[in-house]
Amino acid sequence: MTGSGGLVATFSVWDYVVFAGLILFAAGIGLFQAIHGRKEASSEEFLLGGRQMTAVPVALSLTASFMSGITVIGTPAEAYMYGTAFWLFVFSYAIMSTISAEIFVPLFYRLSITSTYEYLEMRFNKLLRVIGTSMYIAQTALYTGMVIYAPALALNQITGLDLWGVLVATGAVCIIYCTLGGLKAVIWTDVFQMIIMLSGFVAIIARGAVLQGGLGKIWNDSYHGGRLETFSFDPDPLRRHSFWTIVVGGSLMWASMYSINQSQVQRYISCKTMTQAKLSLYLNMVGLWVTVSLAMLSGLTMYSIYKDCDPFTNKDVGASDQLLPYLVMDILAEFPGLPGLFVAAAYSGTLSTVSSSINALVAVTVEDFMKPAWPWLTERQLSWINMGMSVFYGAVCIGMAGVASLMGNILQAALSIFGMISGPLLGLYMLGIFFRCVNSTGGLVGLISGLTITLWVGIGAQLYPPLPEKTLRLPLSVEGCFAPDMNETTTITPFSTVLQTTTPQPRPALADNWYSLSYLYFCPVGIIVTMITGLIVSAISGGCKQEKARPELFIGKSDLICFGCRSSDSEVSDLIEKDPKNIQGLENQVFSDNEIALKEKDYKEKITKF
């Protein structure tokens, strides 16, 4: 029975029906959007939904993209094994949303860009744009491979679903609706998948509450098990999760993902107004709060059920990412279809992330490589290229899942990779938008320096993981486990003893300090090194004396103080006079809806007169 160890049930026919039905329905939404929008054949329609999306579906899509299968399975296991410190990310999400909405949304709207990395060429040079795009492609392809592989492996080992069959099917479904429907198909499919993912968490919490006698019992068990010690103000940078690592490091890590990562930026710049774009980020913040809260409660539910018989220590599961699927098959198997709902939730997370990644990879490849190389391409040719690249990147992501299968700690690698690569990139953007004195030489040297440092510490951390006293895994018990066919408890060495008696491997001098740095600080380290190096090199090489940067490439007072305000008449005139190319960007710079109605006529007259 529940909590006693041993085997759990396997998938029933109804579970397969529910799982397959929900996934096919999600794909059907994408195909409907493809057929419905077939008359629109432009590249902008494919990549940005014609810039006509509204806040609510975009917000749900942003949240669904965050909710990868790794998140669905890994976050509850985090609460189960380490407690609720992860809950502090609600502060990080608020800070990240404010930074993205109030600094980067006005910038990208003003420039009317499709690829985030267009900014790097506008501000610095083409070389930095190519490097930034290449870093993004490498990061996203590898991360997406992990997103496909990790949940598939966990679910395969618990439910018996064929591993590689599901991997290929996942990629194929994404390829079909990404290829035919573009961003609109991705967003509206994400909306449905988000509902399925949250439903999976609710089903686990509700069933667990019934079994345990209410949420109060779950909360009480978690308290006595040390799972509710959320706030730790230990300033040690080597500690994996504390208030400072999560709020400082986590905020910057998530800002690097939402502010400049093409997968996320592409969604909110598809909104028809800047107000809608900002609103989508704030609604997404609420969605992230709900998501992480349900995931934490699912983990606490799991702890309450298994507090006396840990399946991980008892060898009922082979890895921590199999804990939640194990729980689902244990407590929901008597309700045919509910395990299928959970598996669909995990795969919905995978599908949403993979489809978002494919669409973003296509966008940066077409905008940053193909259009500059072949400016004569027609819209019809670009449409065929978009679809062809969707197929290509879908195949690449499936291939990267094979690479991920050769890696050890997939979840930790997935959490670290954004900090390692996006941190230096965010540092480069911050140099560009805040410091007029920084030139392309400083930007290039700063980026390379930041990337070198973060790769050094990140790869070192993978090779020499931090010791248990820094990760602070909480104790787990097997005192309540019963051996099969025997009326006695199993004799199993406690997990803490296993950690202490494992034969230590030789570790270099840096392993217990530099390589043990919290993975959440990888991003801040990358930002700081990039910015300091960039400023020093720019000062040595003459600053911006030889480079004339357009004023709209920087963040001004109106961006930081007058949130959502329309530029004054004089600002509009100045920008047009300084560079006629700004007209298109100004036309797309949408501010207060009321002021648009009042000043639209005068604004158009200014452009026409020019």
The ranges assigned to domains in the chain are: 13-406, 572-609
Token pair recorded at residue 167: 């991997």
At the top level of CATH, the class of 13-406 is mainly alpha
Q: Which residue has the tokens 């068990």?
A: 221
Higher-confidence residue: 34 or 14? 14
The pLDDT of residue 338 is 83
Rounded CA gap, 257 and 390, in Å?
22
The pLDDT of residue 44 is 58
The pLDDT of residue 388 is 84
Buried-exposed string 61-75: b where 16+ CB fall within 10 A, e elsewhere = bbbbbbbbbbbbbbb
Q: How confident is the model at residue 545 (pLDDT cuts 50, 70, 90)?
A: low
The pLDDT of residue 498 is 36
- pLDDT over 70, % of the chain: 75
The pLDDT of residue 605 is 44
The pLDDT of residue 317 is 80
Above 70 in pLDDT, residue 513?
Answer: yes
Do you know the residue count of the chain?
610
The pLDDT of residue 378 is 79
Above 70 in pLDDT, residue 440?
Answer: yes
Report pLDDT digits (tens) over 585-606. 444 444 434 334 434 444 444 4
Above 50 in pLDDT, residue 579?
Answer: no
The pLDDT of residue 482 is 66
The pLDDT of residue 50 is 58
Q: How confident is the model at residue 544 (pLDDT cuts 50, 70, 90)?
A: low
Three-class DSSP category at 472 = coil
DSSP assignment of 82-146? H-GGGGGHHHHHHHHHHHIIIIIHHHHHHHT-SSTTHHHHHHT-HHHHHHHHHHHHHHHHHHHHH
The pLDDT of residue 414 is 64
The pLDDT of residue 36 is 66
- Strands of 246-405, DSSP E: none
Rounded CA gap, 122 and 323, in Å?
48
Rounded CA gap, 328 and 332, in Å?
5
The pLDDT of residue 581 is 46
Range 500-510 average pLDDT: 59
User: Quick count: other Cβ atoms within 10 Å of Cβ 42?
Assistant: 15
Rounded CA gap, 317 and 447, in Å?
42
Token pair recorded at residue 239: 């500690």
Rounded CA gap, 162 and 153, in Å?
9
The pLDDT of residue 564 is 45
Above 70 in pLDDT, residue 538?
Answer: yes
The pLDDT of residue 565 is 46
The pLDDT of residue 596 is 42
423 contacts 517 by C-beta, under 8 angstroms: no
- Strands of 336-404, DSSP E: none
Torsion of CA 65, 66, 69, 73, to 10 degrees: -160
Range 80-91 average pLDDT: 90
Q: How confident is the model at residue 301 (pLDDT cuts 50, 70, 90)?
A: very high
Higher-confidence residue: 223 or 491? 223
The pLDDT of residue 495 is 38
pTM: 0.80
Report pLDDT digits (tens) over 450-501. 999 999 988 888 778 777 766 777 888 778 776 554 444 444 334 333 333 3
Rounded CA gap, 37 and 428, in Å?
37
Residues 6+ apart with CB under 8 A from 23: 173, 344, 347, 348, 351
The pLDDT of residue 72 is 79
Residues 6+ apart with CB under 8 A from 542: 439
Beta bridge partners of 489: 482
- Strands of 411-468, DSSP E: none
Rounded CA gap, 268 and 522, in Å?
26
Above 60 in pLDDT, residue 359?
Answer: yes
The pLDDT of residue 428 is 95
Token pair recorded at residue 71: 């998140």
Comparing 178-187, 216-225, 268-277, which segment has the lowest mean pLDDT? 178-187
Three-class DSSP category at 53 = strand
The pLDDT of residue 285 is 92
The pLDDT of residue 426 is 93
Above 80 in pLDDT, residue 129?
Answer: yes
DSSP assignment of 232-246? -----TTSSS-HHII
Three-class DSSP category at 271 = strand
Report pLDDT digits (tens) over 16-64. 888 888 778 877 776 776 666 555 555 555 555 556 677 888 888 788 7
Closest by Cα among 196, 207, 167 to 340: 196
The pLDDT of residue 494 is 40
Token pair recorded at residue 283: 């609604």
Beta bridge partners of 271: 53
Above 60 in pLDDT, residue 302?
Answer: yes
Three-class DSSP category at 435 = coil
CA angle (117, 121, 126) in 5-degree steps: 105
The radius of gyration of the chain's CA atoms, rounded to the nearest angstrom, is 25
Which DSSP symbol is given to 489?
Answer: B
The pLDDT of residue 574 is 44
The DSSP element (H or E) to which 441 belongs, if any, is: helix 440-463
Q: Which residue has the tokens 């954004």?
A: 418
Report pLDDT digits (tens) over 156-186. 766 677 777 777 777 777 777 666 666 667 7
The pLDDT of residue 247 is 93
Q: How confident is the model at residue 216 (pLDDT cuts 50, 70, 90)?
A: very high
Closest by Cα among 517, 533, 293 to 419: 517
Range 187-209 average pLDDT: 84
7 contacts 327 by C-beta, under 8 angstroms: no
Report the chain's mean pLDDT, rounded to a whole number: 77
Closest by Cα among 244, 279, 247 to 97: 279
Range 496-521 average pLDDT: 66
